[in-house]
Amino acid sequence: MFKNVSELIEATKENNISIAEVMIRQEVEETGKPREEIFAEMGRNLDIMEKSVKDGLNGVKSTSGLTGGDAVLLKNYMEKGNTLSGELVLDVISKAVATNEVNAAMGTICATPTAGSAGCVPGVLFGLKPRLNPTRKQMINFLFTAGAFGQVIANNAMISGAAGGCQAEVGSAAGMASAAAVEMAGGTPQQSAEAMAMTLKNMLGLVCDPVAGLVEVPCVKRNAMGSSQAIVSADMALAGVTSRIPCDEVIGAMFRIGKSMPSTLRETGEGGLAATPTGRALAAKIFGPAAASKEG
């Protein structure tokens, strides 16, 4: 039904339907499953996300000891009031961090679009829940909208850090969340596309450099930053701000940048933060001296 963002937006206009509805109809057509079954499946994804947020906010710790507990620190800080970035942004990022800390602790999460970038979509969704008071149906539609943009990126660029750096993971996830936030807030399909473009283009070139090869540092905190960018871009789009570079062209640029990245900056753990003295020391502490020498 659609191959790129332009076709996705055109489908909403031709049929006078939402982005979420376009995605649902495409799933019905491609899978042959009843609409109710597809909606129920996405509802189960929503439940998994909600549980991962709650578990993370209760406090978890990874086996390596590199991550865990930051979501709790953010929640406690937010509850004290008088924050710099505001309650909404902190709520969003605390829930994004919570999700990724659960992933690092070997808990169950919903990869959106990957495990390493799994915090952005639920962080934004559940962070916005107290503000927008969405129904369960609207929350599930949020995920279909995010999925529509994720499908476009996967089919026209890449969503893995190994293929295109962290821009392809957290960048894509943040863009997906931003687009879905706009729709849930009552914005137009075109505004969703603008939010996606503004989010992704500000994360172009982001490398994938996991310390000790684990999806923990800097991955967890990058989800916090990605989800905060998603909220800002959503507000900009809802205010009428547009991206001078169309969304499909931003995705194309991300693809070309990812292809030009050296392998050391694409999830190998051989460059960037992983290759710093502290990064190597952490790898040696967790896996032994041989691991540190590999990262050098």
Residues 242-296 have pLDDT tens digits of 999 999 999 999 999 999 999 999 999 999 999 999 999 999 999 998 765 555 4
pLDDT mean over 89-113:
98
3-state secondary structure of 118: coil
pLDDT mean over 75-93:
96
The token pair that represents 239 in the structure block: 């205010």
Q: Name, in order, each residue with C-beta under 8 angstroms of 35's C-beta and a sequence gap of 6 or more.
A: 24, 28
> pLDDT tens-digit profile of 20-58?
999 999 999 999 999 999 999 999 999 999 999 999 999
Domains and their CATH numbers in the chain: 5-295 (1.10.4100)
Gap between the Cα atoms of 280 and 293, Å rounded: 8
pLDDT mean over 148-166:
98
Nearest to 265 by CA among 142, 185, 165, 146: 165
Mean pLDDT in the chain? 96
**3-state DSSP percent of the chain in helix, strand and coil, to 5:** 70, 0, 30
Give percent of the chain with pLDDT exceeding 70: 98
| Per-residue DSSP letter, 8 | H
| pLDDT above 80 (res 183) | yes
Q: Which pLDDT does position 1 carry in this prediction? A: 80
Q: Which pLDDT does position 289 carry in this prediction? A: 84
The token pair that represents 22 in the structure block: 């376009």
208 beta partners: 266
Q: Are 187 and 238 in contact (CB under 8 A)?
A: yes
